[in-house]
Structure formats: C-alpha cells, structure tokens
C-alpha cells in the first residue's frame, strides 16, 4: 500500500447484497473502486450487529484491492489478531471504544495491519495530536456510527480542516465515513480528506446484474471530489 493523497473511493459492503458478497466485491472493483470498506459492528458500541472474522476470511479472496476494516466494537484489543488473521489490510478502531487507544494502535500495527483511528461526530481532536505518529489513517465519522443511509453532519467539515493542518506532511490518510455523495464529497476533499467511504452512495440503484450503476456512482463521487482540489 504505497502512500499517496489521490482521491480514493471505498464502497461499504454494508449496502451490498449480503447473499452475494463475492460477486458484489468483484463488481465494485471492476467498476473502479480503490478500497473495499467492511463495517464491523457489535450491537454494543453501536446499535447494530454485522460481521465477524469468519465473514472477512470468506470474502478476503475476492478482494484484490485493499480490505479496509472499520471496527465499531468495544472492547477492541481481544479481537485484533482475529481480524488481522482474517486478512484486513487496515484496522480502524474508535478513540471512544476503550481507555488505552495508544495500546490498541500499537497492537494493530504489531499484528501487521495499517492502523486507523476513528472519531465520532461529537469527539474533538485534542487527544488525536498525541496519536498521530501511531496511525496511518484517521476516519472522521460524518454520521453517527451504526447504520447506513444517514444524513451528512456538516459540522465535521471544520474538524477535517483542523485535522489536515495537524497532520502536516505525515503520511496519514483522512477518511470520511457517512453520507458521501457527489454533493458532500467535494466539501470534504476541499477540507483535506482523500478517502471516501460510500455505502448507499455507491450501491443504490445497481446490482451484480447492473454493475455499470456502481461505476457511474463511483465516478460521480470521484469526479466531484477531484474537482474541489
């Protein structure tokens, strides 16, 4: 995973057809996505329940790009090795999910994955300054975590602007998760983000039988984001 700040689109398979993940992943990759985003939820840290390590292991052979795994779980540490072993390239843990996030980030890197740090909309950046040398990605939630299809929270634009300044020339991606469309992606690209997670924004209207819709949606988000740079 060589680092660059080019715009990347990471469709969330939370919005895909659960009965056909293999072909859904193949379709979005063929239509030009950069990463495949997997939302792991435990029904405890967030009010939804999704995927575990066996599912990740099952879909890993279908992913030829990057498996970007967002752990919306608490505690995180006991499960890092299992998700890393299932094939995650990036493991992102929430700042709010435990008392020892520095230890968690160390463990993620120790397991051979890139380390991501996620922030809920109500979380500020004060603690992030002390963690930047431990992370490869910061994921700013622009919806409250737990469910797809929510509306974009505009207050996070200023947060991303500040975060971009804090990061400076460090090789750290800024990922945006929530409400990404051709209307909202350019706002975050202009603020400094480079990775855009989109669930319904990519999958809406398409299917394995109509993958060209996925491609149209991916290209529309990418074009809008790039135009803002």
Residue 89 annotated to the active site: no
177 noted as active-site residue: yes
Active-site residue, from 34, 42, 68, 177:
177
Q: Out of 34, 39, 136, 194, pick the active-site residue.
A: 39
CA dihedral defined by 166, 192, 69, 63, rounded to 10 degrees? -140
Q: Do residues 201 and 176 lie in contact, with contact meaning Cβ atoms separated by under 8 Å? A: no
- Cα 126 to its chain centre, rounded Å, is 22
> Using CA atoms, how far apart are residues 178 and 176, in angstroms rounded to an integer?
7
- Put the strands of the sheet holding 173-177 in their side by side order: 8-11, 195-198, 173-177, 137-141, 114-119, 90-94, 67-72, 36-41
What is the rounded distance in angstroms from the CA atom of residue 184 to the CA atom of residue 177?
11
Separation between Cα atoms, residue 58 and residue 86, nearest integer Å: 8
Active site residues per annotation:
39, 177
């Amino acid at each position: 995973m060589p680092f660059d700040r080019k715009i990347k689109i990471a469709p969330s398979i939370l919005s895909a057809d659960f009965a056909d993940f293999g072909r859904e992943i193949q379709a979005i990759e063929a239509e030009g996505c950069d990463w495949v985003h997997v939302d792991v939820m435990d029904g405890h840290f967030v009010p939804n329940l999704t995927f575990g390590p066996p599912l990740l292991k099952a879909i890993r052979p279908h992913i030829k790009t990057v498996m970007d795994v967002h752990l919306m779980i608490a505690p995180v540490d006991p499960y890092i090795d299992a998700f890393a072993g299932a094939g995650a390239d990036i493991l992102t843990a929430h700042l709010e999910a435990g008392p020892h996030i520095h230890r968690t980030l160390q463990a993620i890197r120790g397991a051979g994955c890139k380390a991501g740090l996620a922030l809920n909309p109500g979380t500020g950046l004060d603690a992030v300054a002390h963690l930047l040398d431990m992370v490869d990605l910061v994921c700013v939630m622009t919806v409250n975590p737990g469910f797809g299809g929510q509306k974009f929270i505009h207050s996070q634009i200023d947060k991303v602007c500040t975060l971009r300044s804090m990061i400076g020339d460090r090789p750290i991606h800024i990922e945006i998760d929530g409400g990404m469309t051709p209307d909202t992606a350019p706002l975050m690209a202009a603020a400094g983000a480079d990775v855009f997670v989109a669930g319904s924004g990519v999958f809406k209207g398409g299917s394995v039988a109509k993958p060209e819709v996925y491609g149209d949606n991916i290209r529309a988000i990418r074009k809008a984001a790039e135009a803002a740079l």
